[in-house]
Amino acid sequence: MEDHISFILNELGEDREKYFNAMSPPIIQTSNFAFPDVDIFRKSILDEVNSHVYTRGNNPTVEILRKKLAALECTDDALVFASGSAAIAAAIMSCVAQGDHVICVRHPYSWTSALLSKYLFRFGVDYDFVDGSDMNAIENLIRPTTKLLFLESPNTFTFELQDIRACATLAKKHNIKTAIDNSYSSPLFQQPAKMGVDIVIHTLTKYINGHSDVVGGAVCSSHEIINKMFMEEYMTLGGIISPHDASLVIRGLRTLPLRMSRVQSSTKIIVEKLKTHEKIKRVIYPFDPDFPQYELAKKQMSGCGGLFTVEFNVPDIESLLQIVSKIKRWKIAVSWGGHEALMMPIAALYNLPGRADPHIPWNYVRFYVGLEEPEYLLEDLLEALVRE
């Protein structure tokens, strides 16, 4: 019963008798906690990751969220951060020191890429980006100083996957840790720890909170890794989530299965319809049988969410942006995973002053399917495609 999703989302970590049997847990909005005597104070300081000393360490509201996220990812424990990027930074930094080397899949989330290539590089941490579908290429990059293999499967623009089990096995053979950004799938559709990955990372901003009103992140891992990360990156850098935001994420989690299944079924309908449209060259979606890594996707993911990318069959940026300007029910925005449908035309990121052009072709538009009626979203897209 303890590992049933419904139990995790509705009961685990909650102790209602402590707070008037309130169904929704209280927001323990406090910076610090008092102790009845010196002995308990000393014991708490020695086990701060599990005690209540100071809210930069462990806060009771945040602790409920930690327990639920760890259980969803089948790990011992979790830490919750102020953003997904803070979680990624803490996870990577916990694995390396000056002179070490990280192998990372190419074109990861943009701030993961910046962390490795611009930021940690300044402190003497070397890196290589690699085609994550090529196991030989990964193995050839391994050096005696390699400490971490960082995966993101699928990524969130073109959805390339890595064979997670094979990567974890290879890394273990060389005594290298593996970490994965599992945001695309949410903990419901892919559980990398079960495939041998050491550290599983999520942005909470997307599916897990799901209401477009919180920025947060999480790292799920073993007691050994979490306890060390708590005393180092977590307490030192202090990128914690507030108790109030944690309570909003707990609220969001209650409906995660419902939202994921709605998003999945709507996306299937929309992708199938768009695939055959004459103005569309290709729809990229991991659970589409034409997706190049479809077999691998089906093998390691139990479901697929609401992100897909359309390669438009148009002659130039102008005609693409004309179509985009006619779409009204999908909002132009970054991010995804909330209640609302979004689109991200890559062309908008071309020719920005002082910025390199993206590696993704200009005729790609990423769409995110929200909780709207699929027919409502589809109608808007099809109309934009017919009107000249």
User: Using CB under 6 A as the criterion, which residues of the chain lie in contact with ligand PLP when the complex forms?
Assistant: 83-85, 109, 156, 181, 183, 203, 205-206, 215, 217
Q: Which is nearer to ligand PLP, 52 or 202 (CB)?
A: 202
Half-sphere exposure of 230 (CA within 13 A, CB side): 26
- Residue reference for tokens 């685990």: 12
Nearest residue to ligand PLP, scored by beta-carbon proximity: 84
As a whole number of Å, the CA-based R_g of the chain is 22
Which amino acid does the sequence have at 254? R
Q: Which residue has the tokens 């010196």?
A: 38
Residues 217 and 201 sit within 8 Å (Cβ to Cβ): yes
Least separation in angstroms between residue 215's CB and ligand PLP is 5
Q: Shortest Cβ distance from residue 384 to ligand PLP (Å)?
A: 25
**Shortest spacing between CB 152 and ligand PLP, in angstroms:** 6
Measured from the CB atom, the residue of 84 and 374 that comes closer to ligand PLP is 84
Residue type at 151 in one-letter notation: L
CB of 170 to ligand PLP, least distance (A): 23
> For the chain, where are the E strands, in sequence order?
77-81, 101-105, 126-130, 146-152, 177-181, 199-203, 217-221, 280-284, 307-312, 331-332, 342-345, 364-368
Q: Which is nearer to ligand PLP, 214 or 323 (CB)?
A: 214
Query: What are the helix and strand counts (H, E) for the chain?
Result: 16, 12
Name residue, tokens 């803490």: 90
Instruction: Give the residue with the Cβ less far from ligand PLP, 217 or 252.
Output: 217
The nearest distance, CB 158 to ligand PLP, in angstroms, is 12
**Closer residue to ligand PLP, CB minimum distance, 177 or 206:** 206
